[in-house]
Amino acid sequence: MTCGIVYAPSYLNHEQSPSHPERRERLSYTLDQLVEEGIFDLPQITLLTPKPATRDDVLLVHTPEYLQFLEKTSITGGIIDADTYVPKDLIHDALLAAGGAITGADAVLNQVVKNCFVLARPPGHHAGRSQGAGFCYLNNVAIMVRHLQRRGLRRIMILDWDAHHGNGTEEIFYDDPSVLFCSVHQYPFYPGSGRFEDIGVGDGKGYNINLPIPAGSSDKVYQYLLEEIILPLADEYMPDAIAISAGQDNHFTDPLTGLALTAHGYAGLMQEICILADSICYGRIIAVLEGGYSVEGGLPYTNLGLIAAMAGLDISNIREPEIYQDILEKVISEDALPQVIKMVSELKKKLSDHWYFIRRYDFR
Ligand SMILES: [Zn+2]
């Protein structure tokens, strides 16, 4: 089976303003890169056309009042916050992004493709039940997860590796053990949430895992977190599918953030998650684009690397052009890994009652 790519030219429609970081060139440059590399000609790739989400799909996650607000404001234009305007006709673009995630999930469940990367915008992970924020209107991943559960899957793991904490997704599933939410994000940073101490409430306690990391965190930090927390967590939870909030703003050239992941680092992470997914959930991974603002520098190469890994292609040559290497040396911090090791040790104490893979080494 193949890797699906959900994409339609309509994903270039949405624009808050030509100078806004979340602009259409984010995707058009990626598409140029994919075409140049011949990705769409490969037998391992299937291009899928998104269908818009319905009102019922949206109401799996969002309140009727918030949906009405978006519908009404899409007629006149309006504002949610200083970073998040509502352009006229926004609702059509937002429904197509959420619907694209559902299209990808259905293709995976129906075994049309093995896994899927949804190249949609606008992004979604800052949108909570009743409000948008941070360039996000509808929570595409959350809607897709609830759709998977509506189709009969019981447990879903969401890995949110966007540089910003996925506060909207956290809010939606905070008391719900049927969704394991794990977010790796720069901290302290926008939106201010994402402390490792926040592990969920009620039945959901232990199923909200925040991995806050300092600016300058490199491939080594992500590899450490993958081996120490993310892979054993997934292995123990045994999800029926893995959803990835795939924000590529961790790349060292990203203008909005301070992390130092490389294109090869991204591809390597995805490759290991694919191997794990093969062993626990029939390889079912649905990755949905979130942030990533290095329009020319990092984003096309990271997206290419992720797709190559998902399609089982050779990732050894995935890297950004040499001209960017000087930037990497300036951004990377050797102090980051020791800080993260300390944070993980504290996190394990908080989680040891909930997870056997931690308890068996007895950290108390
Ligand atoms: Zn982000």
Task: Tell me which CATH code domain 3-359 carries.
Answer: 3.40.800.20
| 120 within 8 A of 140, measured Cβ to Cβ | yes
Q: How many whole angstroms from 219 Cα to the centroid of ligand 1?
A: 17
Q: What pLDDT is recorded for position 1?
A: 81
Q: What is the DSSP string of 103-130?
A: HHHHHHHTTSSSEEEE--SS--TT--SS
Q: How many whole angstroms from 235 Cα to the centroid of ligand 1?
A: 26
| 319 within 8 A of 262, measured Cβ to Cβ | yes
Nearest CA to 37 out of 339, 228, 306 is that of 306
Q: How many whole angstroms from 110 Cα to the centroid of ligand 1?
A: 30
Q: How many whole angstroms from 356 Cα to the centroid of ligand 1?
A: 31
Q: How many whole angstroms from 292 Cα to the centroid of ligand 1?
A: 6
For the stretch 171-203, what's the b/e string if a residue is b when 16 or more beta carbons lie within 10 angstroms of its beta carbon? bbbbebbbbbbbbbbbbebbeebbebebbbeee
Stretch (H or E) spanning 3: strand 3-6
Quote the CA–CA distance of 22 and 234 in Å, as a whole number.
31
Structure tokens at 183: 């977010």
Q: What pLDDT is recorded for position 362?
A: 59
Please pick, among 125, 126, 164, 251, the residue that the annotation labels catalytic: 126
Q: How many whole angstroms from 182 Cα to the centroid of ligand 1?
A: 15
Q: How many whole angstroms from 247 Cα to the centroid of ligand 1?
A: 6
Q: How many whole angstroms from 162 Cα to the centroid of ligand 1?
A: 5
| 319 within 8 A of 298, measured Cβ to Cβ | no
Q: How many whole angstroms from 290 Cα to the centroid of ligand 1?
A: 7
Q: What pLDDT is recorded for position 360?
A: 83
Q: What pLDDT, in 10s, does the model give residues 283-327?
A: 999 999 999 999 988 999 999 999 999 999 999 999 999 999 999
Q: Cα-flanking dihedrals φ and ψ of residue 297, to 5°?
A: -75, -55
Nearest CA to 259 out of 270, 251, 269, 271 is that of 251
Angle between helices 299-310 and 263-280 (to 10 degrees): 30
Domain boundaries along the sequence of the chain? 3-359
Q: What pLDDT is recorded for position 363?
A: 54
Q: What pLDDT, in 10s, does the model give residues 154-165?
A: 999 999 999 999
Q: Is 126 a catalytic residue?
A: yes
Q: How many whole angstroms from 31 Cα to the centroid of ligand 1?
A: 20
Q: What pLDDT is recorded for position 37?
A: 95
Quote the CA–CA distance of 217 and 236 in Å, as a whole number.
26
Which residues of the chain carry a pLDDT beneath 70? 361-364
Q: Pairing relation of β-strands 84-86 and 78-81?
A: antiparallel
Cβ atoms < 10 Å from Cβ of 211: 24
